Amino acid sequence: MIDTLLAVRNLCFQGCGPLSFSLSQGECIGIRGQSGVGKTQMFRALSDLIPSTGEVLLRGRARETFAAPRWRTLVSMLPTDSVWWYDDVAAHFNSSEARVFLDRMCGKVGLAAEIASWQVNRLSTGEKQRLALLRSLQIKPGILLLDEPTSALDDLSTKLVETLLLERCRDEGLSLMWVSHDEAQLARVSDRLFVMHKNQLTEVV
Amino acid sequence: MNIDSGTVLRLTSFDLCLASSLMLVLAILSLVLQLGLEKKILIYSIRMTAQLLFIGVILRYLFASSSFILVFLLSMVMLSAAGREAWVRQKRKIKGFTGYLISTGSMFVSSFSIALIALSVIIDVKPWYTPQYAIPLLGMLLGNTMTGVALAVDQLTEQLYRRRSEVEQRLLLGQDWKEASLDIRRDCIRTGMTPIINSMAAAGLVSLPGMMTGQILGGTPPVEAVKYQILIMFLIAGGTGFGVISAIWASSRVLFDHRERLRLDNLQSER
């Protein structure tokens, strides 16, 4: 029996919706749709960054019963463009646990082993995108909402990122919602595929 | 001209007209250099003159009557005007009456409480609302706190608007609103405090503060004038600090909602 992790009923936000769907533990849902249709805003609503109405349940427990910061570590979002507020990479991984995680994982996404000692302004867009993924993973989310997570990456780095994320789905039960304009990528990574069109989310059978 | 100590040279209307010609020259310069400030220079010069002449007349009656009700009413007018000035100077204002309330409330908490402590405990004037002490003291406190609050809140709304992606990504990493906006709030408090810290650093070395200069010109012995100025500087610094901190705290509470979401929709659009 499939274990439902996230249940969304009649979610409405900024003129979009009502949207209803569910996500199981370890599952990856792929989402495509035209630019401006509301995919990013849906992620922002799910991670409680913007007001929304409807029911969002995590293992049957309503979102409102979680403290907001706790909710955002359980249902976290990785935006397309990462922002860095300290000069050094290491400062963004400031706990010893986070540094160990970074050192252990950077090779898996094709980043240099000594990247923690670099300054942020030395990083390329692709390096920032992969580092932002590791920054989101180190808080150990149960669900990660990925907004075009490989848009700035070459084929090899894209493959590494896909492999890492699917490994974590399989081994650690991480659940993913993956937005991409690359249909081939969505076919590779997703267990189910949805299309967002005219403010509605429809499953592609 | 030789003058005796304690003699005040009376200024004539002609003296003031002569000084105001500087503003005329400045306005012409602004017109020539296309700075676009000429209208403001002229309007605010006339407004400042009218305001000061008006308060001069009011103070003459107030000092003569020493009425608590009149002192209270005038201080409320001063507070409302200071709150409005601090609010309208912001580029991205908090919507509705809330923005005005925050500016006025923070100044009320800081300036009024400090003025009250200074009058009743430090200066120990009897009665504590003696207008010759209460009104100038409150005026100086409000004037400086207003500048600090206006600068700090303007900086807060602007920074949160420009750095919203940073704040939101910090929230997405599980930080609460206080942590996600900590750097911005600290910068804003520093910005609000900078003018008074600069004034303290320059006092006596670069500039002779206005109140002290006024007292010396009025015939007060320099050492007495200096003592009052030191007291005033401490009070102003304290008032500005408390006012800025409370304004930043209250504004932040409006710009982050109960679910710790950054609510820039609570700001008016920039014009």
Give the CATH number, domain containing residue A183: 3.40.50.300
* Mean pLDDT lowest among A78-87, A177-186, B65-74: B65-74
Q: Is B5 left (phi over 0), alpha (psi -120 to 50) or beta?
A: beta
Contact B261 A73 (CB under 8 A): no
| Same domain as B29, residue B73 | no
Task: Identify the burial level of B67 via C-beta atoms within 10 angstroms of its C-beta, where 0-12 means exposed, 13-18 middle and 19 or more buried.
Answer: middle
pLDDT at B4 over 60: no
Q: How confident is the model at residue B271 (pLDDT cuts 50, 70, 90)?
A: low
Residue A63 lies in a domain: yes
Contact B260 A69 (CB under 8 A): yes
Residue A105 lies in a domain: no
When pLDDT is averaged across residues B10-32 and rounded to a whole number, the result is 92
pLDDT of residue B1: 45
| Same domain as B51, residue B76 | no
| Same domain as B212, residue B81 | yes
As separate numbers, helices (DSSP H) first and strands (DSSP E) second, chain A gives 6, 10
pLDDT of residue A6: 97
Residue B247 lies in a domain: yes
Q: Look up the domain containing B77 and give its range.
A: 68-266
Q: How far apart are CA B203 and CA B230, in angstroms?
A: 9
For chain B positions 170-199, those within 8 Å of chain A (CB to CB) are 170-176, 183
pLDDT at B64 over 60: yes
Residue A62 lies in a domain: yes
pLDDT at A179 over 90: yes
Q: Is A68 on the interface with B (CB under 8 A)?
A: yes
Contact B261 A83 (CB under 8 A): no
Contact B261 A50 (CB under 8 A): yes
* Mean pLDDT lowest among A75-89, A173-187, B108-122, B178-192: B108-122
pLDDT at A81 over 80: yes
Q: How far apart are CA B90 and CA B96, in angstroms?
A: 13
Q: Look up the domain containing A71 and give its range.
A: 4-80+139-204
Q: How confident is the model at residue A60 (pLDDT cuts 50, 70, 90)?
A: very high
pLDDT at A1 over 60: no
Residue B25 lies in a domain: yes
Q: Is A147 on the interface with B (CB under 8 A)?
A: no
Closest C-alpha to A93, from A115, A111, A72: A115
Mutation for testing the A interface, residue in B159, B165, B167, B169 having most A CBs under 10 Å: B169
| Same domain as B154, residue B42 | no
| Same domain as B233, residue B125 | yes
Residue B262 lies in a domain: yes
Residue A118 lies in a domain: no
Mutation for testing the A interface, residue in B259, B261, B263, B264 having most A CBs under 10 Å: B259
3-state SS class at B209: coil
Of chain B, the percentage scoring pLDDT greater than 90 comes to: 65
Q: How many domains does chain B have?
A: 2
